[in-house]
Structure formats: structure tokens, C-alpha cells
Amino acid sequence: MTHQKYNDPVDVLASFCGTKAVPHAIKWNKRRYNVDKVNLVHVAQEGMGKVFYFSVSDKLNFFKLRFDTNNLEWRLLELYSE
């Protein structure tokens, strides 16, 4: 298994209900990855807003995502792949 660290902006298809966000798909490097499972969610207070960290997976990869509520930006932080 390989592990890479990034800080790349990504497009994320997500649903929001109240204060809960659920990522469904990630578009990165001109490729779409469908999220099969949200494994972990962590929330941190940064500045005036919150930052959500998601550990999600598809059938082959594990992704660590960051969603910043200050600027509504999603970033890919880590990728574990076969």
C-alpha cells in the first residue's frame, strides 16, 4: 500500500443536513472517485469557523479530506492506495 501527502484543492459532491456534511464523490486530477464509506469525521475550530476532516474510502483507496467552513474549500490531504 502506498501513502502520499497532498494539499490539493478538490471538487467534492456532498450533501448537507443541519450541521452534518456527507461527501459522496471526489473529483481530483480529472478523475472521479465515488465515496463508498465515510470512516471517520473530526471537527476542529480554526479561526472564526470550523474545519471538518473526513476519512473516506472507495473500493481501492482511502482519502483524507479537509473542508474549511471559512472559505467553503475542500482539499485532499492524504491518499492511501493499493
Which residues constitute the domain of residue 47? Answer: 2-81
Half-sphere exposure of 38 (CA within 13 A, CB side): 16
Closest CA to 65 of 48, 52, 81: 52
CA angle 52, 55, 37 (to 5 degrees): 115
Read off the pLDDT of residues 12-59 as tens digits, 9 standing for 90 and up. 999 999 888 999 999 999 999 999 999 999 999 988 889 999 999 999
Query: What total number of domains does the chain contain?
Result: 1
pTM confidence score: 0.93
Q: What is the pLDDT of residue 54?
A: 98
Write the CB contacts of 1 (distance below 8 Å, at least 6 apart in sequence).
Answer: 80, 81, 82
Q: 2, exposed or middle or buried, with CB in 10 Å at 0-12, 13-18, 19+?
A: exposed
Q: What is the mean pLDDT of residues 78-82?
A: 93
Q: What is the mean pLDDT of residues 63-73?
A: 95
Q: What is the pLDDT of residue 20?
A: 87
Q: What is the pLDDT of residue 32?
A: 98
